[in-house]
Amino acid sequence: MKTKTLRQDKVNVITLGCSKNLVDSEVLITQLQANDYEVHHDSNEKANIIIINTCGFIDVAKEESIDTILQYANAKKRGEIEKLYVTGCLSQRYKDNLEEEIPEVDAYFGTMELPGLLARLEADYKHELIGERTLTTPQHFAYLKIAEGCSRTCAFCAIPLMRGKHVSKPMEDLIKEAKFLASIGVKELMLISQELTYYGLDLYKKRALPELLKALCKIEGIEWIRLHYSYPNKFPKEVLTVMAEEPKVCNYLDLPLQHAADGVLHRMKRQTTCQEQRELIEYARKVVPHLAVRTTFIVGFPGESEEEFQQLCDFVKEMEFDRVGVFQYSHEEDTSGFLLDDDVPADVKAERANKIMEIQQAISYEHNQQKIGSILKVLFDRKEGEYFIGRTEYDSFEVDNEVLVNAKENFVRIGDFAMVEITDAEEYDLYGKVINV
């Protein structure tokens, strides 16, 4: 029997940015391991080959990516590492500039150049591994990327420049991938893409997300299916019917709205109005009981007047979202927004972002107080200090609320579900006791 001889090289893959980038890193790691590389992820493990999977979304993300590249370029100059490769969105968008400014990097690759990167490492691209992945997340949940790219034209967004037009993954491949993930112990699938509700329009000439959800619900072992990055315009309402009927589909809707003043929505090219957004959320809450709605807003878009910002504040107060994230507008070249004057001062942007989060903090506190005494199903992600920490179906990983149970009085296994009685609540955290595992 041929013994597997690991190559002497050790690779460390550094992932920056979003969950879609994380999936790309997982695919890369899987391919490298299949070529007998020892691979680590975001580790302090000493490695002689570093691969940085970058983010190029907005200024702060770009800065983080460039700082990380410089950090390892200096390590290479000091002889601490041998090879440095850069891939991902920043590399896709600024390859020529980066090659000029940071020549210590051995090679830069775009977002669709995995085979090229592997070839550079004398590794073969193993087609038979499509649909299989080494997870970098805790083993009980995984991201399922159902499409690549985006065909929308939001004025502030550079993603289509880095990821191209929307390309749906064939449903049979996604089901095969989900079955593989279930076979390695995944219980929660987080469906992601740039624009989830567009799924199928290119491949099947129809919005096929409802059909995909029903098929994924049939997979044994998968207990929760969560939807991320939906889009309000032409939202396929049948998704909500499936969510209401299928217990495996979390009553959770991540629906970035970006703004609520019609003038700003129009300048952002969001193809929707405040009233349409309001009606969609009211309809969703009617069809799906106890639905948790997560959204994100951008403040400081060119021309955002005090009055328009006030309209956004009023909307956040009125709609009482369960989860809210806020970004400060970043003036991204080559987007249509770049043609507008970035006239909202940085301190005003920061002030407005804080204002929205202040409003939301009070809403979140009220909502959480109402959960005291309720019994919720919780999936436990980790133990930290004296607490086991998990999430309800209303909370996604890293971005939403958490449930904390005291480890001295309760015992749960990481990756297990347990019923928890909520005994106390803060703005963003719930406390409770396990009533049965």
What residue ranges bind ligand SF4 (CB under 6 A)? 150, 152, 154, 157, 159-160, 194-195, 231
Long-range pairs of 96-103 with CB within 8 A, sequence gap ≥ 24: 98/69, 102/66, 102/69, 102/70, 102/73
Shortest Cβ distance from residue 193 to ligand SF4 (Å)? 9
Amino acid at 175: I
**Dist. CA 23–CA 9, nearest whole Å:** 23
Shortest Cβ distance from residue 157 to ligand SF4 (Å)? 3
> What are the structure tokens assigned to 47, written together?
């490695």
The b-or-e profile of 354-382 (16+ CB within 10 A means b, else e) is: ebbeebbeebbeebbeebeeeebebbbbe
Closer Cβ to ligand SF4, 29 or 155, answer by number: 155
> What are the structure tokens assigned to 100, written together?
């000029």
Closer Cβ to ligand SF4, 148 or 308, answer by number: 148
Place of tokens 């955002």: 304
Shortest Cβ distance from residue 143 to ligand SF4 (Å)? 16
**Dist. CA 328–CA 352, nearest whole Å:** 8
If 0-12 CB within 10 Å is exposed, 13-18 middle and 19+ buried, where does residue 179 land?
middle
Closer Cβ to ligand SF4, 159 or 316, answer by number: 159
Shortest Cβ distance from residue 3 to ligand SF4 (Å)? 46
Shortest Cβ distance from residue 423 to ligand SF4 (Å)? 39
> What are the structure tokens assigned to 244, written together?
């209401």
Closer Cβ to ligand SF4, 39 or 147, answer by number: 147
Place of tokens 């490769």: 85
Closer Cβ to ligand SF4, 166 or 352, answer by number: 166
Shortest Cβ distance from residue 71 to ligand SF4 (Å)? 28
Shortest Cβ distance from residue 163 to ligand SF4 (Å)? 8
Strand pairing report for 387-391 and 402-406: antiparallel
Closer Cβ to ligand SF4, 118 or 298, answer by number: 298
Closer Cβ to ligand SF4, 86 or 150, answer by number: 150
**Dist. CA 17–CA 25, nearest whole Å:** 11
